[in-house]
Amino acid sequence: MTGIAVIALLAWTYGLPAQSTVLSTAESAISKEIGGLRDLPDDVRARTTKELALKIRKLPATPNKVSVAQSLANLSTEGDFGRDTLQEVTTTLASAVREQPPAAAKDGTPAGPYVALAQLARYEHMEVSLNDPQLAKANALLIAADASREKADFTLTDLEGQRWNLKSLRGKVVLVNFWATWCPPCRKEIPDLQTLYNRFKEQGFVILAISDEEASVVKPFLAEHKVNFPVMLDPGDTVNKLFQVAGIPKSFVYGRDGKLVTQSIDMRTQRQFLEMLAQAGLK
């Protein structure tokens, strides 16, 4: 994807200024590097991500700078590239927003960069040095969404024909994972989910993996990757909407008392999943 394509996609998705899509030479070069991050080994990706964050911070203040910083932030939570790296990315996005505050939507919904910063602070425990009403509103929306997910319930049938109801699994540790076969980060975390399922299933650990794709697409994928934890389909995105899932992969862990313990905003490594499960008492 070209740098301009990255910016245009982010403008459409996050309500960023669409009129400024002609990138400077420096912005274009950085966007091209961001577009290639997924092709790098994790150690190189971590180092490159940190370097890109510092490069972005040096750019002149423009709406495109916010968009470029946003695109880097979106990719920086796909796994574990180090807290220092993620903090640099967070600081860069906050700095860009401070220089060129994006406008809220017409209905008052905070602009995407503020939501991203609120997520980084709430779910990744990053420090966000920004005092802005839009950020406060974004955080309030996250709190409300989590309260809704706490009460959420659904019943779906897995591909083996077994019905699963979330609330009836009280007494078990449940990981609800939203994914799709076309999603590279989703595919990357599946082997770790399978390993964790094999390790903890005798301790009352259940994975409910939810895709909105057709069975004809999902079944061959699962057979090829030897997945044996419950996988169910969500036609019409009913459960996705219930959980307010805007991007995948996304995981939610419920404790044995049925309460939402923790969640991820993106792909997790096995180590990160273990940290999530430990919060629900699985070690």
Q: What is the pLDDT of residues 78-120, one digit of tens each?
A: 999 999 999 999 999 999 999 999 999 999 999 999 999 999 9
Same domain, 91 and 184: no
How do beta strands 231-233 and 163-165 pair? unpaired
Q: What is the pLDDT of residues 214-225, one digit of tens each?
A: 999 999 999 999
Number of folded domains that form the chain = 2
Whether pLDDT at 3 is above 70:
no
Same domain, 129 and 199: no
How do beta strands 173-178 and 205-211 pair? parallel
End-to-end, the C-alpha distance of the chain in Å comes to: 41
pTM of the predicted structure, to 2 decimals: 0.89
Mark which of 92, 113, 146 sits at the end of a domain.
146
pLDDT attached to residue 51: 98
Q: What is the pLDDT of residues 174-192, one digit of tens each?
A: 999 999 999 999 999 999 9
Helix (H, G, I), strand (E, B) or coil at 109: coil
pLDDT attached to residue 18: 44
| CATH code where residue 168 lies | 3.40.30.10
Rounded to 5°, angle at Cα 272 from 266 and 277:
105
Name the residue range of residue 230's domain. 155-278
Same domain, 171 and 111: no
Tell me whether residue 283 is in a domain. no
Same domain, 113 and 20: yes
Mark which of 117, 146, 175 sits at the end of a domain.
146
Same domain, 43 and 139: yes
CA–CA dist 146, 150 (Å, integer) = 6
Same domain, 142 and 159: no
**Residue 155, phi then psi, degrees to nearest 5:** -130, 125
Mark which of 103, 120, 146 sits at the end of a domain.
146
Find the helix packing angle between 63-76 and 83-99, rounded to 10°: 160
Alpha-helical (H) ranges within the chain are: 3-14, 25-35, 42-57, 63-76, 83-99, 112-123, 133-151, 184-200, 215-225, 238-242, 270-278
DSSP type of residue 110: P
Whether pLDDT at 57 is above 60:
yes
